[in-house]
Chain A
Amino acid sequence: MWIERKVLTQEVPVVAGLDTRQLCELLASLGFPVDSVTAREGTEALDVDITANRGDAMSHRGLAREVASKLGQSLEPIAVPALQEGAPAVEVRLESPACPVYSTAVMELGTGATPQEAQSFLLALESTPKRLPAVDASNELLHRYGHPTHAFDADRIRGGVSIRWAKDGERLVTLDGVTRTMTGQDLVIADEAGPIALAGVMGGDGTKVTETTRRVLLESAWFDPKTVRATARRHSLHTDASHRFGRGADPAMAPVARDLLVGRLQAWCGAKLVSAWTVGTIPVVSISVVLMESLLTRVAGEPLSLPDAAEALKRLGCTVEVKRDRLRVMPPSWRHDLTIPEDLAEEVLRLRGYEHIPSVLPPLEGPPQPLSQDYLKRQSLARRLAHLGFHQTVTYGFVSPEMDQQTPGPLGQQAFDIPEGRILANPLGLDYSVLRRSLVPSLVEVAKRNLKQGQREVRLFEIAPTFRGLPERPVESWTVALVWAGESWDADPESRAILVKAKHLHGILKDVLRPGTPQNVHPVEDDTILTAEFLLDAVPPPDERIIPAYTPQSRFPAVERDLSVTVPTDLAWQAMHRAVQDALNRTALTDLICADLYRGKSLPAGTKAWLLRLTFQAMDRTLLGEEVDGWVAAALAAAESLGASLRA
C-alpha cells in the first residue's frame, strides 16, 4: 500500500523530524515493513506492507495512529463538517445482516473540479484522478481514512435502493466494463431494476458518476468482511474497497466518512446537500478481552508493569480498566483483530519494541529424543551415494501422465495402484498433473539434459517419496532412484575411460542394499542410461550395536589355488559357486571367486573360460598340501558335473 509522506506528516507532525530511513525503521518496528520508497509529486511515496489482520492500518490515518502511539503523540481528531441528518430522500432498505449500517446522502453537484492538492495526493499513490469531484473525493477519503465510499448517479437509480443478497444468475456490468453473473452469496446494492453495485467491491457501470451527472447518491456503509472476501474471490475482483472491507473496516466510520464526503463535495464543487440520513445501526464488532498479568509476563519474558501496559493499549485506542492482576480491555471499533489475551500482549510488546525482549535459551524439561531410524538411514544413504560419485538431485513430485507411465516404480508393475487417485484437480499444467509413482523418469530427463550439455558422465540419485493411488488416499513411500550414464573415467591419462554398463550399477546396489534384495537395474534410451529404483526399506538400517559382535579371524596361512576351466556359455556363476561350495562345505574353503572370465575364438564353440580362485584357511592349523590337493580335486569334480572341463 502506498503512503504519501506529506499527508502522514500532516497527521503526525513529528514525522517531519525523521529521515526516510528512520521512518522506514519505525514502521518496520511496528510491523509495517516498507518495500520501497519513490519520489513522486514533490513528496515521497512509501510502499508499505500491511499484514492481513490489519485492515485498520490500510490508510494514512491508520498508519498515523500507529506511528503516533509509538512516538507517544496524540492525533488531532478528524475534522468532520457539522451535518444535520434529515429525512431519507430515497428509500433505502437493509435486507441482509451483512450490511448492518448504511449512511447516505443525496447531493446536487455544482461546478468545480478536484483540487490540485487532492489530485497530487492520488497521483503520488499511483491512483489516477478522474477529475470528477465525487469520484476523486471518494477515492481520496479511502486512502486518507481507510473507509471506502461510493457515489451513484442518483438520476440513474430507479426507485428505492435495497441492500440484499443477489438472486442466482442476476447480472451486473461493473465499473470495469465486465458483466458479472452473481449468486445468492453475493451482496448487492439494487434498485427496482436490479443490482447497481457489488457491495463493498465495485460499483455498477449503469449508475456511475460521469461529467453529466447532476445529482449523486452517496454510500458509506459497513459490510461483513467474510461476505466481501467471498465475493471478491468469486469474481476475481480485488479492489481497494474489497481489501479494506474484506479485512474489516471500522463500522463507526460509516457516518463519519459520509460526512467527510459531503464536506468535500461542498468545498470542491459547491455541491448542495439535499438530505443525509443513516439506515440501520453501527454494529459493535470489538469484544472485551482480559489480559492477565501472568500471561503478559510469560509472553514478554519479564514482568511488565500493568499500568504501563494499560497506557500502551490506551494509546492504541483501547478502553482499559486496570485491576490488581489483570487488565480488562475494550478494543476500539477499528481493531477487531484484538480478540484474545495474546493479541493484547503482542500490542504491549509491539509498542514497547521487540528489541527489548530478553534472549533466553529454553530449559530442557525432559530428555532429548533420538533422530528416527528412517531419517538417519536417508542421511547416511545420501552420504554413501555421494561418496560413491552420485549427485543428489531434487525434482518435482508431480510429472506428466506420459512420464508417469514410463516406469512402474519401486514396487514394479504388480503393485496395486489407482493412477486416478494421484491426479491433481488443479495442476499448473499437464506436465505437472500426476503425483509420480516413480522417480526414474524425472532423473532420466535430468540425465539427458546433462549429457546434452556436455557432461561425459552423469551419476544422479534422488531420495524422495513416490505415490501409489489407494482407494482411501494415496500412500507415500520413501524411494531411492539412481541413474548412471556416459563414460566412467578417473581422470588418469594412463587409464582408459570405460562405458558404464549394468554391472557397474549392480555393484553400487550390492554396496547399499540389504543382501538378497532384487536389483532392478533397467537400461533406458537404447541402453545408454542405466537406472535403478528401490524402496528405502531395501536399505539395511544402521547397526543397532555401536560395534558388532566379535568374530574371530584365522591366524594361520591362507592357501590359494586356481582352477582354469571351460564351461558352457550359458552356465551362471551362481550355479558354479553353489556347486563348488556344496562340495567343499566341510573343508577350510573360505572364499571362492571367479578371478577371470575369458571368451574367445581359441575356445571350443559354446564355451567360455573361468578362472576359479579358491582360498583355504583353517582356524586351528597350517593346512597340508595333500589335503588341499584333495579339496581342489573335489572342486573340479563338482565343476565337471556342471559341464566344466579343465583347460589344457
Chain B
Amino acid sequence: MSGNDQDLLAGLEAMADATLRKRLELMLAARGAFDQELTACETLDDCQRLKGKYVGRDGSLASEAMPAMRGIPVAHKQTLGAEINSIKKTWEEKIKARQIELEAARKKHTSLTDQWDPTLTPPVPARGALHPLNRLMDRLVEVFRPLGFHVEEGPEVETEAHNFDGLNIPEDHSARASSDTFYLAAHPELLLRTHTSPVQVSTLRRVAHDLAARGGIRFLAPGRVYRKDEIDPTHSPMFHQVEGMLVGHGIGMQHLKGTLEYALRALFGPHTEIRLRPSYFPFVEPGCEVDVSCPLCAAKGCRVCKGSGWVEILGAGLIHPNVLKYAGIDPGEWSGWAFGMGVERMAMMLSQTPDLRLFFENDQRFLKAMGGLD
C-alpha cells in the first residue's frame, strides 16, 4: 500500500457517516474493475453502459460518491476529495477516448461496408446515338476531307432536267418512267431525285463561270434519294447515296483509281485492294464498277463476298463530255471523274445487317447498337 493510499484510508476512517464512507470506498475499489471493463467495451453501446455505471448522472459510482464528499473531514479533503475527483475525471476521459476510438472504428467499418458496390450499375448520363447511315456518310466525308473535297448538297425535289437531262440520260430511258421515279402531281416536271447525281449538275452549273479561278472543283454529295421500289429486305423507296466528283485539268482513270484506292484503304484498312471493272452509266465514259477486297474475310472468301474475295462497292467513271457541256464547261479543257455509292448497301455489307428495313424502323436498340457515337 502506497503512502497515498494510506492517506486515503486515513481520510476514510476519519469519516463519521458509515453510509457515505461506503460510497467512497466503492468508488476507490472500482478503479481496477473500471480499466478491465473499459478494455472489454467493444461498441459504443458498451461504452454508454459503462458510462452509466461509473460516471452517469444518476446511480453511477461517481454520482453516488460526489454528495458523499460532504462527509470528508476538512483535513482529508486535500487527499481523499481530490482523489475522488481525479478518479471521476480519469474515468470520463478514458470513456471519452474509448468512445472516440470506437466511433472511428465504426466509421472506418461503415465506410468499408457501405462502400458503393462496383458490380452495381453506376449512375450513367443518358447517351444517344447517331444513325448508322449518317455515321457512315460522315465517315466518308472525313476520309475525303484531306484530299480537299468539300460537301455539296441539293434539294430532294428536283427537275427532270437536273435529274436526267443534264446527266446524259436519254429521253426515253426507262429510269424516267413513272414506274421507276416518283413525280409530283401538281408539277409534272418535278420529281424526287433518283440519285445524288443532280447535285453534279447544279454544282457544275454554279461554278462553271469561275472554274479556272477555283482551280477545278472536288466535292462529295451525300443525301437521300427516292426510287419507286416496293419495300422489302433489299429495297426501299428511299435510300442514301454519296456522290463524289472531281473536275480538273487532264483528269483520267488513273486519278479515279488513285483517289478511290486512298479512300477505300482509309475506310477499310491499309491492306485493302481495289479492282476496277468496265461498266456502263450514261453520265460517265469510260465507266466502271469498283470492287474492294472483302473487308470481312481479308479476301479469303466468305458468305458476304460469295467466296470471291471481292465486294462490289460503287460505280464510277470519267465524266461524260455531255455532262460537262450541259453545265457550261468545255470538255476540251476540263475533265473529271465521278462516283456514286449506295450507303445502305455498304452499311449492310459491313454490319451484315440482313434486312434493309431495319435502317428505317429505328428500333432504339438497333440504333444504340449500330449507330453509336464517337
Residues on A facing B (Cβ under 8 Å) = 28-31, 33, 51-54, 226, 229-230, 233, 297-302, 340, 342-343, 345-346, 349-350, 354-355, 357-372, 374-375, 379, 382-383, 385-398, 418, 420-428, 432, 435, 446, 449-450, 453, 455, 458-461, 464-465, 467, 469, 473-474, 476, 488, 490-493, 495
**A460 contacts B124, C-beta separation under 8 Å:** no
Would you list which residues of chain B between 162 and 191 have a CB under 8 Å from chain A?
172, 174, 177-179, 182-188, 190
Interface status of B266 (Cβ within 8 A of chain A):
no
Q: B318 at interface (Cβ–Cβ under 8 A)? A: yes
Residue B97 interfacial (CB < 8 Å): no
Do A368 and B148 form a contact, CB below 8 Å, given A491-B121, A495-B123? yes
Provide the bound-state CA to CA distance between A371 and B151, in Å. 6
Q: Residue of B at shortest CB range from A299?
A: B252
Please state if A491 and B123 are interface contacts (CB–CB under 8 Å).
Answer: yes
Alpha-carbon separation in the docked complex, A568 to B228 (Å): 60
Interface flags for B333-374 (1: CB within 8 Å of A; 0: not) read: 001000000000000000000000001111111011001010
- Could you tell me if A385 and B128 are in contact, using CB atoms closer than 8 angstroms? yes
In contact, A386 and B255 (Cβ under 8 angstroms): no
Query: 5 A-B pairs, CB-CB below 8 angstroms?
Result: A51-B280, A342-B321, A391-B364, A425-B178, A465-B156
Whether B156 and A425, one on each chain, are in contact in the complex, defined by CB atoms closer than 8 angstroms, is no
Contact B320 A393 (CB under 8 A): no
- Enumerate chain A residues within 8 angstroms of B371, measured Cβ to Cβ: 386, 391-392
A-B contacts besides A349-B286, A350-B278, A428-B231, 15 pairs, CB < 8 Å:
A233-B177, A300-B252, A342-B286, A342-B318, A343-B285, A354-B253, A367-B215, A371-B141, A386-B373, A387-B128, A418-B186, A425-B184, A428-B230, A476-B157, A493-B120
How many Å from the CB of B306 to the closest CB on chain A?
Answer: 9
A349 to B373: give the CA distance in the assembly, Å: 44
Are A455 and B215 closer than 8 Å at their CB atoms?
Answer: no
| Residues A473 and B187 in contact, CB atoms below 8 Å apart | yes
Q: Are B125 and A446 in contact (CB under 8 A)?
A: no
Bound: A372/B138 CA distance, A: 14
Contacting pair B215 A393 (CB below 8 A) = no
With most chain B CB atoms within 10 A of its CB, the pick from A393, A396, A464 is A393
CB distance from A265 to the nearest CB of B (A): 35
**A238 smallest CB distance to B (angstroms):** 10
Give A29's nearest chain B residue, CB to CB: B277
Q: How far is the CB of B235 from chain A (nearest CB, A)?
A: 11
The list of the 3 closest CB pairs from A to B, nearest first, reads: A366-B215, A389-B126, A301-B254
B238 cross-chain contacts in A, Cβ below 8 A:
396-398
- Please name all residues of chain A whose beta carbon is closer than 8 Å to the beta carbon of B257 when the two chains form the complex: 301, 357-360
Decide: A364 near B148, CB < 8 A? Known: A229-B172, A392-B371, A450-B364. Answer: yes
Check A54–B280 contact: CB distance below 8 A. Answer: yes
Complex CA distance for A453 and B138, rounded to whole angstroms: 30
Return the chain A residue nearest B237 by Cβ: A428
Please give the distance in Å from B297's CB to the nearest CB on chain A.
17
Give the distance in Å from the alpha carbon of A394 to the alpha carbon of B254 in the complex. 36
Q: B residues within 8 A CB of A31?
A: 277-280
| Distance between B276 CB and nearest chain A CB, rounded to angstroms | 4
Residue of B whose beta carbon sits closest to that of A461: B128
Q: Across the interface, do B252 and A298 meet the contact criterion of CB distance under 8 Å? A: yes
Which of A233, A360, A428, A435 is in CB contact (< 8 Å) with B157?
A435
- CB under 8 Å from chain A, chain B span 232-271: 237-238, 246, 248-255, 257-259, 261-262
CB neighbors of A among B314-331 (8 A): 318, 320-321
A357 to B365: give the CA distance in the assembly, Å. Answer: 45
A647 to chain B, nearest CB (A): 33
Most buried by B among A363, A366, A467, A490: A366
B128 with A390: CB separation less than 8 A? yes
Chain B CB within 10 A, most for which of A33, A362, A394, A425: A362
How far is the CB of B139 from the nearest CB of chain A, in Å? Answer: 12
Assuming the A-B contacts A299-B253, A455-B365, are A375 and B121 also in contact, with contact meaning beta carbons closer than 8 angstroms in the complex? no
B361 to chain A, nearest CB (A): 7
In the complex, the answer to whether A474 meets B183 with C-beta atoms within 8 Å is no
Q: How far is the CA of A455 from the CA of B366 in the complex (A)?
A: 12
Q: Point out the residues of chain B lying under 8 angstroms from A363, CB to CB.
A: 248
Please provide the chain B residues from 283 to 302 with a CB less than 8 Å away from any CB of chain A in the complex.
285-289
Query: Of the candidates B275, B278, B364, which one forms a contact with A30 in the assembled complex, judged by CB atoms under 8 Å apart?
Result: B278
Measured CB to CB, the nearest residue on chain A to B306 is A36
CB distance from B253 to the nearest CB of A (A): 5
* Residue contact B285 to A346, C-beta cutoff 8 Å: yes
- State the Cβ distance, A428 to closest chain B Cβ, in Å: 5
CA distance A54 to B288 in the complex (A): 14
Distance (whole angstroms) from the CB of B13 to the closest CB of chain A: 66
Q: Across the interface, which residues of B come within 8 angstroms of A455, CB to CB?
A: 364-365
User: Is the pair A424, B182 in contact by a Cβ cutoff of 8 Å?
Assistant: yes
- Quick check: is B10 within 8 A (CB to CB) of the other chain? no
Number of residues of chain B lying within 8 A (CB) of chain A: 93
Q: Determine if A453 and B363 form an interchain contact, defined as CB atoms under 8 angstroms apart.
A: yes
Known: A346-B278, A391-B129, A392-B134. A354 touches B237 (CB 8 A): no
Query: From residue B332, how far is it (CB to closest CB) to chain A in Å?
Result: 10
> Are B278 and A354 in contact, with the CB atoms below 8 A?
yes
Q: Which residues of B contact A33 (CB under 8 A)?
A: 277, 289
Most buried by B among A368, A394, A490: A394
Chain B residues with Cβ below 8 Å from A491 are 121-124
Say whether B82 faces chain A, with CB atoms less than 8 Å apart: no
Task: Given A354-B276, A366-B215, A393-B131, decide whether A349 and B174 contact each other with a Cβ distance below 8 A.
Answer: no
B128 adjacent to A432 (CB under 8 Å): no
Is there contact, CB below 8 Å, between A362 and B248? yes
On whether the beta carbons of B150 and A371 are closer than 8 Å, the reply is: yes
CB distance A395 to B138 under 8 Å?
no
How many Å lie between the Cα of A358 and that of B134 in the bound state? 33
| A346 to B278 Cα, complex, angstroms | 8
By the criterion CB–CB under 8 Å, are A346 and B287 in contact? yes
B59 touches A (CB below 8 Å)? no
User: Roughly how many angstroms separate A488 CA and B177 CA in the complex, as a whole number?
Assistant: 49
Whether the pair B125, A365 counts as a contact (CB closer than 8 A) is no
The reply to whether B253 and A300 contact each other, CB–CB distance below 8 Å, is yes
Residues of B within 8 A of A375 (CB): 151, 153
Tell me, in angstroms, the Cα distance from A422 to B131 when the chains sit together.
27
Given A33-B277, A357-B253, A423-B186, is A389 in contact with B127 using a C-beta cutoff of 8 Å? yes
Contacting pair B126 A488 (CB below 8 A): yes
B258 touches A361 (CB 8 A): yes
Residue of B nearest to A374 (CB): B153
User: Which residue from chain A places its CB closest to the CB of B183 in the assembled complex?
Assistant: A425
* Complex alpha-carbon distance, A387 and B150, angstroms: 26
Q: Does B71 contact A (CB under 8 A)?
A: no
Nearest opposing residue in chain B for A36, CB measure: B306
Q: Which residues of B contact A349 (CB under 8 A)?
A: 253, 278, 286
Per-residue 0/1 for B42-58: is the Cβ within 8 Å of any A Cβ (1 yes, 0 no)? 00000000000000000
The chain B residue with its CB closest to the CB of A476 is B155
- Inter-chain contact A459/B128, CB cutoff 8 Å: yes
Which residues of chain B from 19 to 60 have a CB within 8 Å of any chain A CB? none
A362 x B258 contact (CB < 8 A): yes
> Does B91 sit at the interface, judged by CB under 8 A?
no
Asked if residues B153 and A449 are in contact (CB atoms below 8 Å), the reply is no
Q: Report the separation of the CA atoms of residues A349 and B156 in the bound assembly, to the nearest whole angstrom.
A: 36
B318 nearest CB across to chain A (Å): 6
List, in ascending order, chain A residues with CB within 8 A of B288's CB.
354
- Please name all residues of chain A whose beta carbon is closer than 8 Å to the beta carbon of B320 when the two chains form the complex: 342
* Chain B positions within 8 Å of A393 at CB level: 131, 362, 367
B134 to chain A: which residues have CB within 8 Å?
382, 392, 394
B364, A394: Cβ atoms closer than 8 Å: no
Q: Which residues of B contact A427 (CB under 8 A)?
A: 182
Q: What's the nearest-Cβ distance from chain A to residue B280, in Å?
A: 4
The residue that B184 contacts in the complex, of A390, A392, A474, with Cβ under 8 A, is A474
Least CB distance from B330 to A in Å reads 14
